A = this chain, B = another copy of it.
Amino acid sequence: MNRSYFKKLETHDNNLPLELTTVIDQLAFNEKGLIPVITQDAISKNVLMFAWMSKESLYLTIQTKHMTYWSRSRNCLWVKGKSSGHTQSLTSMAFDCDGDVILCQVEQVGAACHTGRRDCFYLNVDLDKSKVTVTGQATL
């Protein structure tokens, strides 16, 4: 990661857009060439899932508008919904202040979670009782 690059952007003129490829070249892909991605429902604003992208999958996502991650378990490109039909169409994308996280808003078809639940965050902490409740039902 080039921290000095993103440090300069903190006060960059809002009226002078930067080349996307230049910014992507500075993003903090980790030692495995991956960067974290937060995927949020464009309408409900619920956080649907968290995954990783390689530079290639990032460019594919931008070009096709179909969310394309890097599957760490299968070690390959992962076009979301390619087999399940539960696709995610990209509607907006932003990078964070440090250039080490990507936030994507998407139109979700069906379920974001592999269990069939709408999103992956179904293990809810009861902060007062120190319990965890499973919510929703697995349908896949």
Contact = CB atoms under 8 A, between A and B. Distances in A.
A23 interface: yes
A14 B99 CA distance: 38
Interface in A67-86: none
Copies of this protein chain in the complex: 2
A137 B97 CA distance: 12
Contact of A47 (B10, B40, B97): B40
A133 B14 contact: yes
A18 B130 CA distance: 9
B125 A20 contact: yes
Interface of A: 9-14, 17-21, 23, 36, 38, 40, 45-47, 49-50, 62, 65, 90, 92-101, 103, 113-115, 117, 120-127, 129-138
